[in-house]
Amino acid sequence: MALRNGIRGFSIFSSSFRNYSSTGPVINLQVNDKTGVATVTLNRPPVNSLNLELLTELSNTLTELEKNKCRGLMLTSSSNSVFSAGLDLLELYKPNLDRFKQWWSTLQQTWMKLYGTPYPTVAVINGHAPAGGCLLATSCEYRVMLNNFTIGLNETKIGMVAPDWFIASMKNTVGPRQAELALTTGNLFTTDEALKIGLIDEVAVNKEEAISKAEKFLHRYDNVSPLARALTKQTLRKDAIQDLVKKQKTELENITSFINNEKLQKGLEVYLESLKQKKKQ
Ligand code: CO8
């Protein structure tokens, strides 16, 4: 499938999962023919939670971009208030185990692809980015965030443990000291706080400015050999990726055997209910 300039969604992938259906393409892809820069927009209202369908489309988009020699990627959201709410908690709550396994493997694959792209990547964070939303952002090489939102790995706050590769992405971004503080407290950082600890690189007042800052970052590579750049990035990031390659099956087995743990399921139920209650207030 050739890339073209213009927004399109993938329709070739199965999009009708029982109880998980969506009304349209959950990923929009726009490629600038002149620069080769792709804008990938997460489009799964209301909060871009990462369910199987969204992750499958994102993963396939990344494969397609790599095949088509993409020169840069901007990852953003179609929402005005949420970049991504992270993993879709409904995939974790009382899951169908076959689907659950497929979902978790797709999450692993998507992370490995995004973290290891040969081309430069920027997250244009135009809304809240908790947990898996923060993972997507920290998998990119650069982050521009709008004011008045929050970002962080809040897993401990909701009684979960972030997998090693979530932690690796955070460590790679803010360093071990800040990562330890951020992960153990489960803190969600405001835009200003995130800037202070290096969790984001720049702040923008609106999406237009954020895109312009992201493009400026990508232009830094105009006179850098794409191959030398890609090999250097691979060298810097390969340990975390190889670590997951080695243990992806074991991790999947472990998490599958743990997912129906009564306490975990009860905790999820309470948390999902609290999100609903918050909405009513
Ligand atoms: N998954 C599924 N549904 C969600 C999620 C989610 N992550 N987040 C929100 N929703 C739902 C809400 O329940 C609500 O549903 P409904 O319309 O049916 O009532 C709808 O989306 C809209 O949500 P809000 O009203 O809360 O939207 P706001 O715009 O007010 O707020 C926020 C947006 C700030 C993103 C807020 O929704 C929020 O805080 N969400 C939860 C974020 C979160 O804690 N995510 C953690 C996910 S877990 C993860 O990513 C990593 C786990 C790794 C370990 C796994 C080991 C097992």
Between the CA of 254 and the centroid of ligand 1 the distance, in Å, is 24
* CB 268 less than 6 A from any atom of ligand 1: no
* CB 89 less than 6 A from any atom of ligand 1: yes
Residue 150 CA: nearest ligand 1 atom is 34
Task: Please work out, in degrees rounded to the nearest 5, the angle formed at the alpha carbon of residue 133 by the alpha carbons of 114 and 99.
Answer: 75
* CB 129 less than 6 A from any atom of ligand 1: no
Q: CA-CA distances (angstroms) from residue 45 to 49, 88, 99, 126, 215?
A: 8, 12, 21, 14, 26
Q: Which domains does the chain have, with CATH numbers?
A: 17-206+226-280 (3.90.226.10)
Residue 79 CA: nearest ligand 1 atom is 29
* CB 133 less than 6 A from any atom of ligand 1: no
* CB 123 less than 6 A from any atom of ligand 1: no
pTM of the predicted protein model: 0.93
User: What is the set of active-site residues?
Assistant: 87, 132, 154-155
Give dist(CA 72, CA 31) in Å, integer.
10
Question: Contact at 8 Å (CB) between 47 and 84?
Answer: yes
The order of strands in the sheet holding 142-146 is: 27-31, 37-42, 72-77, 121-125, 142-146, 202-204
Give dist(CA 55, CA 47) in Å, integer.
14
Give dist(CA 133, CA 137) in Å, integer.
6
| Backbone region of residue 196 per phi and psi (left: phi > 0; alpha: psi in -120 to 50; beta: other values) | alpha
Between the CA of 85 and the centroid of ligand 1 the distance, in Å, is 5
pLDDT in tens, the chain (281 residues): 344 333 333 322 222 222 344 556 999 999 999 999 999 999 999 999 999 999 999 999 999 999 998 999 999 999 999 999 999 999 999 999 999 999 999 999 999 999 999 999 999 999 999 999 999 999 999 999 999 999 999 999 999 999 999 999 999 999 999 999 999 999 999 999 999 999 999 999 999 999 999 999 999 999 999 999 999 999 999 999 999 999 999 999 999 999 999 999 999 999 999 999 987 77
**Strand 27-31 versus strand 37-42 pairing type:** antiparallel
Q: Which of 113, 143, 118, 68 is nearest to 224 (CA)?
A: 118
* CB 87 less than 6 A from any atom of ligand 1: yes
Question: What is the four-CA torsion angle of 192, 196, 199, 201, rounded to 10 degrees?
Answer: 80
Residue nearest (by alpha carbon) to ligand 1 atom 32: 85
Question: What is the four-CA torsion angle of 50, 53, 59, 65, rounded to 10 degrees?
Answer: -110
Residue 157 CA: nearest ligand 1 atom is 44
